[in-house]
Structure 1
């Protein structure tokens, strides 16, 4: 048990500082480099006993993976008994989330603060909650108004009328995770259109329903290949850095594989395997180990099974994707890479023509050849329309196959940007399956980017920017804009499901 001692110097302190004042003593936190992103609270599950925690005015023990702090009831004010952590890094303007489980032996109050660890003891979070004998989960997301490397997380337990045992567990303080929200690309295509057309009667609803939720940025051959002096590393760095400065999580799509889209509406990509590897080098260096989700090369793995598309270059594609997953893995645990695995229709073959899909066994093989063992998992339904249950079912079956065939454990993310009505089927033929990949009618926006649920996707993400056209080929409705061009008509149709 670590105790703090000392007297409050209250006479000269303002009222707020008095309430937040913490007695000074050596910190119990080890002198490791301060975490800036991800989980900031040490030993929040108390699996290591009370390591990293201090107490003042309370007897502190750890039992069964919970922290028990006993207060004798003789104190007058909340700050007369505290358990907490020190040496936390708080950055101004950055979003954080504090959450914890708590209960007490009798009805009691607990005050939670995130604050300066020294004078003037300014708090950037200050919440008082009522506890019962049943454990409750508390969680708040807040924006820091302080800039310090000596921040403190305090649980003030004093001021109880009778002796009280407080029980804490699963204490978490995070930043730059999905809990604080995904970073919205300020220059996304919908936002650009709204900015250029402020008087258009559709602008307000497109901004509110689409532009404000476009949380993914695509990078490709519109950024110059390979040359270290070109913009790709700087562009990626600026984007990831802007997200980190807000404490939000950025999502990036790397879309530059040679022979991209098999010469279809989104054709292009790096000019050679060597240029692609040089481009990936710059892309990964731009991330620089900071928190990011990367969706790697939509369609590239599935298309590797198409001999007419590959023309004998499948081995080169596997090599390039392996190189990319390897270099992204080297960026560290804050970077989560999801190698694209197409969609349920592509693999399982549930389209109108009855054509048999690639098959789970073949898709698992292709992913394994492409370096899936070095990625966090797979992405499914990118730029597609299958509803989330269909996509989750496909991804669950595919990841089970990866595990059984290759011993690879994978998670998955689902593109929900346009799947609110599921895949388009032929009117009057509900068993026709998912058909129509290019601007199909009567599709609707899906749920905005968020963390997934247990047993399903790890994240549900808007990966395709709604309103961006799928292309203007013969397979698309007449009048469709070129691939990637924003259309307010397409955006409004997705809002209305019309």
Structure 2
């Protein structure tokens, strides 16, 4: 499913001066690598990278394209939000259950963007959604049933609060009530769900205006608000705007809220909002909850890089030229460590038999000899009928290494359809993964990870790591 981005007319009407200011602010240090041990808001754990995305499918289908390596390493390797934008009452619960179940099995935090409110985008390029508010509530009820019990991040209805120009006063009141009810429904179904409401962005409504609208829409029941979805304002500008919104909320008796910022394409460059679907833009900070700002819960890629706005290309369609342009001059992502299990005392959710299972994956360490300088640990992070997802953590030994190679023998009937964060080659049943340019050099005790999707039945292979 391709998400339909928020493409409101108000987003397009950024002034030239406003764009210049945004780009000047973003120019220095635009691609901050926000990983590591920096403090964050209220979330702990690791963000979930969905293997079933438009960019992942494109990478798999185009291994020899000259753009593939950049798109794979800098876009497909990163977690982004799953959009629920194709309004379907009959299937949305199963979709959410499957997605959240896969994230739970991986011990990671899923991110959902709900985009189905009636009259969304005021009839613009991303028009659609539920036929009426009563049906919308049924849709939200079905989503809530699939949320499980662990931490999940929910971005509720982009543009729904910042864009109200097409609504009458009574329609605004009805929408506010619907958002308030949706927030209560989602939080009631899963108390560990983090629900954030629409705050537009720093070059749109004034902070005081946006705060008043958030209060009317029930932000007191939510965990906070998000900003900059499908937009390009710098992280610094959005953080300053967020502080102003928080201050205005406090003045209206609402405190303890946090911000989420979409950094999927706010890494600099200039141009019209809709010019050639923004081939002149760049990705911003890689997704992380280590924001270093107690007011900000996460930098997320809410709008998946490479998915169009509806200007030159159809809204939500994946365009490799856009992804390549966004990522080409960005730095490599930080080397990740093993994901942290999301803390909870509640049981995991039972998912349909066709979805990834929630059985804790078996981990079998297979260290190589000390002289080789590295070891490797395998996990089956999820399984489904006819396939599975594997993950390998490489760890340097007592001294630094400049690169690594992992090898193993595929089981009977197994084939690998996709790999990320490593260069895969196969010969018969022999599988080999070598580091990519940015995750080969490891300090003593340092780690890197790669993952893969495979057809066949999951097994626990004996794997070997060789350092170089």
Q: Structure 2 length normalisation: TM-score?
A: 0.59
How many equivalent pairs are there? 290
**In structure 2, do the counterparts of structure 1 residues 178 and 437 end up closer, same or farther at CA, with 3 Å as the change threshold?**
farther
Does the 8 Å contact 1:382/1:414 carry over to 2? Answer: yes
Is the aligned partner of 1:193 residue 2:58?
yes
Partner residue in 2 for 1:486: 318
Matched with 2:151 is: 291
What is aligned with 1:224? Answer: 88
What is the alpha-carbon distance in structure 1 between the residues aligned to residue 241 and residue 208 of structure 2?
12
Aligned to 2:262: 415
* Deviation at residue 214 of structure 1 after TM alignment: 3.5
Taking the TM superposition and a 5 Å limit, the aligned residue runs for 1:249-288 are 249-288=109-148
Change (3 A) 1:315 1:179: closer
Q: 1:310 to 1:206 in 2, by over 3 A?
A: farther
**How has the CA–CA distance of structure 1 residues 342 and 406 changed in structure 2, closer, same or farther, with 3 Å as cutoff?**
same
Q: Is the 8 A contact 2:271 2:280 kept in 1?
A: no
Aligned positions of 1:126-145 closer than 5 A: none
1:375 aligns with 2:240: no
Counterpart in 1 of 2:178?
A: 320
Identify which range, 377-386 or 207-216, moves more after superposition.
207-216
Q: How far apart, in 2, do the equivalents of 1:437 and 1:387 lie?
A: 18
Distance 1:261 1:309 in 2: 11
1:343 matched to which residue of 2?
Answer: 201
Distance 2:256 2:250 in 1: 6
- 2:293 corresponds in structure 1 to 454
- SS of 1:252's partner is strand
2:210 to 332, 357, 363: 363
Aligned to 2:355: none
Q: Is the 8 A contact 2:262 2:300 kept in 1?
A: yes
User: Highest CA radius of gyration, 1 or 2?
Assistant: 1
Q: CA RMSD in A?
A: 2.3
What residue number does 2:406 align with? none
Mapped to 2, the partners of 1:218 and 1:438 lie a distance apart of 23
Tell me how far apart the structure 1 counterparts of residues 145 and 177 of structure 2 sit (CA, whole Å). 19
Distance in 2 (alpha carbons) for counterparts of 1:481 and 1:418: 17
TM-score normalised by L of structure 1: 0.55
- 2:306 is matched with 467
Per the alignment, in what secondary structure is the counterpart of residue 317 of structure 2? coil
Whole-angstrom CA distance in 1 between matches of 2:140 and 2:78: 27
Match of 1:79 in 2: none
Task: Answer yes or no: is the 8 Å Cα contact 2:147–2:190 preserved in 1.
Answer: no
CA deviation map 1:258-291 (0-9, x unaligned):
0011111111111111110000000111103322
Aligned residue number for residue 125 of structure 1: none
Deviation at 1:312, TM superposition (A): 4.8
Gap change, CA 1:436 and 1:481, over 3 Å in 2:
closer
Report the more deviating stretch, 440-449 or 177-186: 177-186
SS in structure 1 at match of 2:260: strand
Matched, 1:209 2:74: yes
Q: Distance in 1 between matches of 2:259 and 2:133?
A: 27
CA distance in 1, matches of 2:230, 2:276: 9
| Counterpart secondary structure, 1:193 | helix
* Pairing partner for 2:49 from 165, 179, 184: 184
Are 1:389 and 2:222 matched, yes or no? no
Q: Which structure carries more relative contact order (alpha carbon 8 Å, separation 6+)? A: 2
Q: CA deviation at 1:497?
A: 5.1
Shift of 1:360: 2.4
